[in-house]
Amino acid sequence: MGIHNTGAALSWGGSIATAGGLVFIASTSDDMFRAFESKTGKVLWETKLPAGGYATPITYLGKDGKQYIALQATGGRMPGAPTADTLVAYALP
């Protein structure tokens, strides 16, 4: 039923969609940050965060003309889960 592994049941963070048809979300209990194809739900990219990314990602255009996606990875929502004070940013191809 539906598309699995796209977030946490408790809504620990939101998603963001790009004009290019990508949906980014990190609000999962496995500390992963994923990009999905918006029409099919197919996972196109994923990376392990230093701690849970329980925040809504942002996107911005850098001075270099590239589009970036960024997210706070602070964790601490799950008992015994790692915590961090990290801002991660990735350039989109």
Residue 9 has pLDDT above 70, yes or no: no
The Cα–Cα gap between 26 and 46 comes to: 9
Confidence of residue 54 (pLDDT cuts 50, 70, 90): confident
61 vs 82, higher pLDDT: 61
Classify strands 43-48 and 58-61 as parallel, antiparallel or unpaired: unpaired
Domains of the chain: 15-91 (2.40.10)
Residue 68 has pLDDT above 70, yes or no: yes
Predicted local distance difference test score (pLDDT) of residue 89:
96
β-bridge partners, 39: none
Q: How far from chain centre, in Å, is Cα 4?
A: 15
79 vs 31, higher pLDDT: 31
Predicted local distance difference test score (pLDDT) of residue 43:
93
Confidence of residue 28 (pLDDT cuts 50, 70, 90): confident
39 vs 77, higher pLDDT: 39
Decide if 36 contacts 21 (C-beta within 8 A): no
